[in-house]
C-alpha cells in the first residue's frame, strides 16, 4: 500500500499519454515515437516564435530544427520542476539570439554597394498589406530585448514568471520591457491607424 502511494507521488503532474512530462519520460525510457509526438505538439509554436524573433522566413526551418536537435540531446537532463514549454522556449530564444548575432557579425564584413539606393523608412510597410502583416513588421522593428518578451506574452500567451524563467530575467525587468515594447509599437503603428481600425 505504501509503495503504491509513493509511486503516485513520483509523477503528480502526468495527466495523460500525450502530456509533455509523460512523453519525456517515455522518450528517456527509449520510446523514440514519444519524441516525435513532442515535436509535432510544439513545432508550430517554435516556428512562430522563431519567425517573429528573427524575422527571416528563410531561416525558420534551420533554426527550428536546431532547437529540436538540442532538445533531443538534452532532454535527458530535463528536471520536472517547471513546464516543458518554459525550457523549450529558453532553448529557442538562445538559438534565435545566436542566429541574430551571426547575422550582425556577417553584416560587418559585407561590402557596401554604393550603387544601391537606400529605401525610405516609409517603404518598409505596404499600406495595402493586411493587418497581420503590418503588426508583424512593426514587431520585427523592435530591438531583441523588447521583441522577445512581447512575443512570448502576447502571442505565446506565457505568464510573466514563465517569460522571466525562459529569459533568465527578473519579473520586474520582463514587465518593464513588455511595457516599453507596447509603447514602441504604438509609435510604429500610428501611421497605420486607418488600416488597423478597418
pLDDT at 196: 64
* Residue 80: predicted pLDDT: 86
What CA–CA distances, in Å, run from 71 to 27, 78, 102, 127? 12, 9, 21, 40
The neighbour count for residue 34, using CB atoms within 10 Å, is 19
Q: Residues 11-65: pLDDT tens digits?
A: 444 445 568 999 999 999 999 999 999 999 999 999 988 988 887 678 899 999 9
pLDDT of residue 6: 44
Determine the average pLDDT of the residues in 118-144.
62
Average pLDDT over residues 171-197: 85
Q: What residues contact residue 48 under an 8 Å CB cut-off, 6+ apart?
A: 155, 156
Q: Which residue has the higher pLDDT, 102 or 14?
A: 102
Specify the pTM.
Answer: 0.67
What b/e sequence results for 149-159 when a residue is b if at least 16 CB atoms lie within 10 Å of its CB, and e otherwise? bbbbbbebebe
Domains annotated on the chain, with CATH: 13-112 (1.10.1740.10), 122-198 (1.10.10.10)
- Segment 73-92, tens digit of pLDDT: 999 888 888 889 889 999 99
Asked if residue 106 has pLDDT above 90, the reply is no
| Contact by Cβ (8 Å): 35, 27 | yes
Amino acid at each position: 500500500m505504501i509503495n503504491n502511494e509513493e509511486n503516485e507521488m513520483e509523477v503528480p503532474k502526468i495527466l495523460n499519454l500525450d502530456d509533455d512530462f509523460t512523453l519525456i519520460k517515455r522518450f528517456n525510457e527509449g520510446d523514440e515515437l514519444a519524441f516525435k509526438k513532442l515535436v509535432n505538439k510544439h513545432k508550430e509554436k517554435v516556428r512562430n516564435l522563431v519567425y517573429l524573433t528573427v524575422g527571416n522566413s528563410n531561416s525558420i526551418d534551420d533554426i527550428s530544427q536546431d532547437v529540436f536537435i538540442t532538445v533531443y540531446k538534452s532532454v535527458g537532463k530535463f528536471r520536472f520542476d517547471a513546464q516543458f514549454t518554459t525550457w523549450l522556449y529558453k532553448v529557442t530564444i538562445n538559438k534565435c539570439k545566436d542566429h541574430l548575432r551571426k547575422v550582425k557579425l556577417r553584416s560587418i564584413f559585407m561590402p557596401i554597394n554604393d550603387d544601391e539606393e537606400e529605401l525610405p523608412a516609409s517603404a518598409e510597410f505596404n499600406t495595402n498589406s493586411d493587418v497581420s502583416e503590418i503588426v508583424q513588421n512593426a514587431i520585427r522593428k523592435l530591438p531583441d530585448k523588447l521583441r522577445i518578451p512581447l512575443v512570448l506574452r502576447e502571442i505565446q500567451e506565457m505568464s510573466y514568471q514563465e517569460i522571466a524563467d525562459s529569459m533568465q530575467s527578473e519579473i520586474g525587468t520582463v514587465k518593464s520591457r513588455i511595457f516599453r515594447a507596447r509603447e514602441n509599437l504604438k509609435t510604429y503603428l500610428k501611421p497605420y491607424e486607418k488600416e488597423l481600425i478597418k
